[in-house]
Amino acid sequence: MKTDIFINAMRNRNNLLFLYSLKKVMIEPYYITKDRTGKKVIYGRINCTNEIRKFEYDKIANIKILKSLRFSPVIPILPKA
């Protein structure tokens, strides 16, 4: 179920809002995979930052797709000046 929501948000470039360890997080979802221990994780860029973080599925709750907010992936093509 979570995977379907995340895949839908990634395809449509929608932001996600969810609770992660009881903290509200808004991300731009990029990639779903399993980590070294075999736990399913999603990678996403935290809203209003350039930080990409890993979020474990087990700690994610109350997922909401924010259809009004869309994003373009940030692809660093130029080095910082």
* 81 in any annotated domain: no
Q: What is the mean pLDDT of residues 54-77?
A: 81
The identity of residue 5, as a single letter, is I
* 65 in any annotated domain: yes
* 80 in any annotated domain: no
Looking at residue 51, which CATH number applies to its domain? 2.30.30
Residue-wise pLDDT for 12-64, tens only, equals: 989 999 999 999 999 999 999 999 999 999 999 998 888 889 999 999 999 99
When pLDDT is cut at 50, 70 and 90, the band that residue 76 belongs to is: low
- What range defines the domain where residue 51 resides? 2-69
52: CB partners within 8 A, 6+ apart:
30, 43, 44, 45, 46
Enter the pTM of the model.
Answer: 0.79
* 33 in any annotated domain: yes
* 61 in any annotated domain: yes
* 52 in any annotated domain: yes
Q: How many domains does the chain have?
A: 1
The identity of residue 81, as a single letter, is A
**Residue 72 confidence (pLDDT) above 80:** no
* 78 in any annotated domain: no
